[in-house]
Amino acid sequence: MTDIRRTLLWVVFSMSLVLIWDAWNKHNGNPSMFSPPPPAQTAASAPVPNAAPGTLPAPVATGASGVAPAAAGAVPSAAAAPTGTEKVTVTTDVLKLTIDASGATVNHAELLQQADPHDPAKRVVVFDQSPERLYLAQSGLIPAGGGAQLPNHYAVMKRVPGDTTLAQGQDELQVQFESAEIGGVQLVKTFTFKRGDYVIGVKHEVRNVSQAAVSPQLYLRLVRDGNAPPGESSFYFTFTGPALYTDTSKFQKVEFKDIEDGDAEHEKAANNGWVAMVQHYFASAWLLNGNEPREFRTQKEGANLYSVSMVVPLGTVAAGETKALDSRLFVGPQEEDKLSAIAPGLELVKDYGWFTVLSKPLFWLLTQLHKFLGNWGWAIVALVVVLKAAFYWLNAYAYRSMGKMKAVNPRIMELRERLKDRPQELQQQMMKIYRDEGVNPIGGCLPILVQMPFFIALYWVLLSSVEMRNAPWIGWITDLSAKDPYFILPLLMTATSLLQTWLNPTPPDPVQAKMMWIMPLVFSVMFFFFPAGLVLYWLTNNILSIAQQYLINRQLGLNK
């Protein structure tokens, strides 16, 4: 039994060292051992020459209308838009957007209520078109068959005169763009902004000004480079990339590497669902209001450039007829309660990984505690107290088992020294002592293993919750999503971890005993760079565990 415990501890210790080494490699710009190297960071607008059916064609020079041709049924390339077009800035109380008149593409979005973690004077930027980043929201029309080209995101559109700032006391603002006639069709986009809302209504009106019927398809697309978000930590990682949702397949993440290799697997068509781009704390998504049939596409657009799209057939638009389709564009923080109210499954962009089934109720409980306490730091402390109370008797069993192990440890050590040359007899004598004293050698491990999924789920709740950004606790902790600036919490966590080790029984094996002291020090290296909210969670758990273990050891007479 001792050999099994020793093996398990060595596995945990070895894996910890491997993970720390891997994190250190990534911190210094080297590739991870567990994930593919990032795509080469070349110019994001470089095209992929590919005109195969159903894929993006290579971009070509635009004509006088500014529209780039595309293969039948293929979405035009996401290459850089024509230069010199009008850039319209729209400002609400929560958003500051730039809409490029080339296709009315959203190429810049600032979240006015979310401070940049590295410069509090700046705001978080999601959509962006700069030398460092490319992240766009595009939409346009493509012909269903071999018809003439239609207004797509290359089409130069004209803004209809009107306000572009949501004034005080105004609850709604509309900004409209109109294209010229292209292929007998005029496209009108109307953006509707509402106070306090990260969801933008985008109405697409297709006006057939020709003498013949047309059958256009509308595409709604998000385009992004494959780079990690600015300021992403090297010691913990969250998903960045495309995602989609349907009622049938539910939430599906798509890795950039899978798109790069042509191995992306996801739902291809449905009459419901949405597409999104996900990163730590923030997301964007194209949503449809109805049950229109739609096709889902992911594609490599260029070197280190990827897209996720919905393509919606609009049916036949007769000569002189206008057909409209309402869609919505979300760009904002991953506030779980608000996301679930916007669209089915949208709250899943807040990535809990494998522990969603546990993380969601834990987050709900955390928010209820926050409503009562008014501080996210104290809500974290209270949540750990609730969990420790829920598992009190299970922990008590574990600590009593460890306490009994500590009580018989001197006898075990004496046996190991006396029978070190007779391992079989040593095992028999140890098992006899365990039976006589009612000690279960792994009794302290099993209850902890039962609780681990809950504490890992809580870890992901704290790591993923945008509510922790810029949320203060006490004194020097002014942002629970950032590391402790003075490393006080990590130092306290390390000290309490060592105290826990001291309270535990000393393993009979000297090597194992040394490892039990080394492990807290090794783990503390990572916690020095973890968000303060996560460290506060572990520190609180350590303090409560020490208190419970001390009381049980006292009951067993082991604190003398």
For residue range 490-530, list pLDDT tens digits in order.
999 889 888 877 776 565 556 666 766 777 777 777 788 88
Question: Is residue 10's pLDDT more than 60?
Answer: no
Tell me the CATH number at 330.
2.70.98.90
Say if 322 falls within a structural domain.
yes
Instruction: Using the 3D structure, point to which of 328, 351, 374 is the last residue of a domain.
Output: 351
Q: Evaluate whether 17 touches 280 at the Cβ level (below 8 Å).
A: no
Domain match, 368 and 342 both: no
Query: How many of the other CB atoms lie within 10 Å of CB of 539?
Result: 25
Query: Element (H or E) spanning 21, and its range?
Result: helix 2-27
Domain match, 309 and 374 both: no
Query: Element (H or E) spanning 371, and its range?
Result: helix 356-373
The band of 197, judged by pLDDT with boundaries at 50, 70 and 90, is very high
Between 426 and 178, name the one with better pLDDT.
178
Cross-strand partners of 225: 305
Domain match, 413 and 339 both: no
Say if 379 falls within a structural domain.
yes
For every residue of 288-319, DSSP letters joined together read ESS---EEEEEEEEETTEEEEEEEEE---B-T
Domain match, 527 and 505 both: yes
Closest by CA to 67, choosing from 182, 187, 221, is 182
- SS3 state at 160: coil
pLDDT digits over 279-301, tens only?
A: 999 999 999 988 999 999 999 99
Would you call 541 exposed, middle or buried from its count of C-beta atoms within 10 A (0-12, 13-18, 19+)?
Answer: buried
Helices 392-418, 376-390: inter-axial angle, 10-degree rounding: 70
**Cα(76)–Cα(127) distance, rounded to whole angstroms?**
19
> Degrees (nearest 5) of the Cα angle 428, 434, 436?
100
Instruction: Using the 3D structure, point to which of 288, 319, 351 is the last residue of a domain.
Output: 351
Task: Give me the numbers of helices (H) and strands (E) for the chain, helices first please.
Answer: 11, 19
Between 482 and 103, name the one with better pLDDT.
103
The band of 34, judged by pLDDT with boundaries at 50, 70 and 90, is very low
Domain match, 321 and 366 both: no
Domain match, 413 and 338 both: no
The CA distances from residue 404 to 71, 249, 392, 510, in Å, are 75, 50, 18, 19
pLDDT digits over 113-147, tens only?
A: 998 877 888 999 999 999 989 999 999 999 987 66
The band of 161, judged by pLDDT with boundaries at 50, 70 and 90, is very high
Domain match, 319 and 379 both: no
Domain match, 165 and 210 both: yes
The band of 344, judged by pLDDT with boundaries at 50, 70 and 90, is very high
Between 508 and 465, name the one with better pLDDT.
465
Predicted local distance difference test score (pLDDT) of residue 57? 31
Percent of the chain with pLDDT over 70: 76
The band of 41, judged by pLDDT with boundaries at 50, 70 and 90, is very low
Instruction: Using the 3D structure, point to which of 351, 373, 401 is the last residue of a domain.
Output: 351
pLDDT digits over 390-419, tens only?
A: 887 776 776 667 667 767 777 877 777 788
Say if 74 falls within a structural domain.
no
Predicted local distance difference test score (pLDDT) of residue 497? 86
**Cα(102)–Cα(155) distance, rounded to whole angstroms?**
6
The band of 549, judged by pLDDT with boundaries at 50, 70 and 90, is confident
Predicted local distance difference test score (pLDDT) of residue 445? 61
Q: Which residues contact 132 (CB under 8 A, 6 or more apart)?
A: none
Say if 73 falls within a structural domain.
no
Mean pLDDT computed over 359-383: 95
Cross-strand partners of 115: 123
DSSP 180: P
Span of 57-71, 313-327, 427-441 with lowest mean pLDDT? 57-71
Domain match, 100 and 8 both: no
Question: Is residue 19's pLDDT more than 70?
Answer: no
Question: Is residue 8's pLDDT more than 60?
Answer: no
Domain match, 378 and 268 both: no
Say if 46 falls within a structural domain.
no
Predicted local distance difference test score (pLDDT) of residue 36? 42
Q: Which residues contact 168 (CB under 8 A, 6 or more apart)?
A: none
Say if 455 falls within a structural domain.
yes
Say if 369 falls within a structural domain.
yes
Say if 546 falls within a structural domain.
yes
Domain match, 327 and 393 both: no
Range of the domain at 220: 87-228+237-351
Q: Evaluate whether 164 touches 174 at the Cβ level (below 8 Å).
A: no
Q: Evaluate whether 249 touches 267 at the Cβ level (below 8 Å).
A: yes
The band of 62, judged by pLDDT with boundaries at 50, 70 and 90, is very low
Domain match, 206 and 145 both: yes
For every residue of 195-261, DSSP letters joined together read TT-SEEEEEEEEEE-SSS-B-EEEEEEEEEESPPPTT--SSS----EEEEEETTTEEEE--HHHHHH
**Cα(508)–Cα(506) distance, rounded to whole angstroms?**
6
Q: How many domains does the chain have?
A: 2
The CA distances from residue 144 to 219, 268, 314, 383, 395, in Å, are 11, 17, 9, 54, 64
Q: Evaluate whether 345 touches 246 at the Cβ level (below 8 Å).
A: no
Predicted local distance difference test score (pLDDT) of residue 159? 96
Mean pLDDT computed over 229-247: 82
Span of 37-46, 176-185, 259-268 with lowest mean pLDDT? 37-46
Instruction: Please provide the size of the chain in residues.
Output: 560
Mean pLDDT computed over 553-558: 66
Predicted local distance difference test score (pLDDT) of residue 78? 62
Question: Is residue 434's pLDDT more than 80?
Answer: no
